[in-house]
């Protein structure tokens, strides 16, 4: 089953996303960039309120120069917030591999998600390096939110190759990047582990605006709920296990 990831900027937005049944609450400040880091005090409020109730992820901030020392320091700071997953952007530079290598020092105790950007010539074959560095997963997103969305930048076959290749290596997979309601059904066919949303959940689809509860509900309805699916499954006795 594919889960719903909702990027939030405040405790109130986190509450709304949890109320509609988002599977992952992603702490992010869209005013600071594609992976803008949420102010630490706000992030800690959300972790304190919901850390034991729902899966939480957080972004480390945008580091397009991909300085390994800066990225590593930001990842450590984010991990210290107590979230379940830490998302680190890879900006399509020759230094991406150096950053992945540097982050290996964290992966024994922190579940890292690499975020590649469809509009920055992503290396779709980087997944093997991520596995070697013990990353937990990888996502595709977009860096330029005023441009084309994910499905306008990569074909269905390219996205399928990414998802299947990453999952075959044991990586969690996510797809995001200006996704709208019309994008959900085609992307569900690819069976990623998560679809990520921000703008589609906000008033007038403006990612810097607050959440629109009707938009939240529309996205949740379009993605079959993991909880609902589990509730429909008959319980199996030990003798019935495959």
Average pLDDT, the chain: 92
Give the model confidence (pLDDT) of 183-194 as tens digits: 999 999 999 999
Task: Give 230 or 68, the one with higher predicted confidence.
Answer: 68
* Band (208; pLDDT cuts 50, 70, 90): confident
Could you tell me the pLDDT band of residue 75, with boundaries at 50, 70 and 90? very high
- The helix/strand/coil state of 63 is coil
State the DSSP H helix or E strand holding residue 46, giving kind and residue range, or none if neither.
Answer: helix 40-50
Active-site choice (15, 53, 87, 145): 87
Model-level pTM? 0.91
Burial letters 173-202, b for 16+ CB under 10 A, else e: bbbbbbbeeebbeebbebebbbbbbbbbbb
The two three-digit tokens of residue 133, written as one number: 């560095």
- In Å, what is the CA distance from 79 to each residue of 72, 83, 113, 166? 10, 6, 12, 23
If one compares 25 and 236, the residue with the highest pLDDT of the two is: 25
> What local confidence, expressed as pLDDT, does residue 227 receive?
55
Instruction: Name residue, tokens 């499954």.
Output: 233
Structure tokens at 217: 């509900």
Residues 34-54, mean pLDDT to the nearest whole number: 97
Between CA 35 and CA 226, with CA 85 as vertex, the angle to 5 degrees is: 105
Instruction: Give the model's pLDDT for residue 149.
Output: 96
Range 41-58 average pLDDT:
97
145 is known as an active-site residue: no
What is the average pLDDT across 192-217? Answer: 93
Percent of the chain with pLDDT over 70: 93
Q: Are 68 and 58 in contact (CB under 8 A)?
A: no
Identify the active-site residue in 28, 53, 145, 178: 28
Alpha carbons within 13 A on the beta-carbon side of 36: 16
| Residue 53 is among the residues annotated as catalytic for this protein | no
Asked whether the predicted pLDDT for residue 237 surpasses 90, the reply is: no
Question: Looking at residues 188-202, what average pLDDT do you find?
Answer: 97
Question: What is the band of 146 on the pLDDT scale with cuts at 50, 70, 90?
Answer: confident
């Amino acid at each position: 089953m594919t889960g719903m990831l909702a990027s939030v900027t405040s405790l109130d937005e986190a509450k709304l996303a949890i109320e509609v049944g988002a599977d992952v609450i992603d702490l992010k400040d869209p005013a600071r960039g594609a992976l803008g880091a949420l102010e630490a005090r706000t992030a800690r409020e959300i972790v304190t309120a919901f850390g034991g109730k729902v899966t939480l992820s957080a972004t480390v901030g945008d580091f397009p120069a991909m300085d390994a020392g800066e990225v590593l320091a930001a990842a450590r700071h984010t991990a210290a917030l107590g979230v379940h997953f830490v998302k680190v952007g890879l900006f399509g530079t020759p230094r991406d591999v150096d950053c992945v290598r540097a982050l290996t020092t964290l992966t024994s105790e922190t579940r890292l998600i690499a975020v590649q950007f469809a509009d920055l010539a992503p290396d779709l074959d980087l997944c093997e390096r991520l596995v070697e560095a013990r990353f937990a997963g990888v996502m595709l997103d977009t860096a330029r939110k005023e441009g084309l969305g994910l499905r306008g930048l990569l074909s269905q076959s390219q996205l399928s190759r990414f998802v299947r290749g990453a999952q075959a290596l044991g990586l969690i997979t996510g797809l995001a990047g200006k996704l709208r309601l019309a994008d959900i059904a085609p992307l569900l066919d690819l069976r990623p582990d998560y679809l990520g949303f921000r703008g589609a959940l906000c008033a007038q689809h403006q990612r810097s605006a607050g959440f629109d509860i009707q938009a939240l509900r529309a996205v949740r309805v379009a993605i079959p709920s993991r909880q609902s699916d589990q509730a429909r499954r008959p319980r199996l006795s030990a003798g019935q296990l495959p």
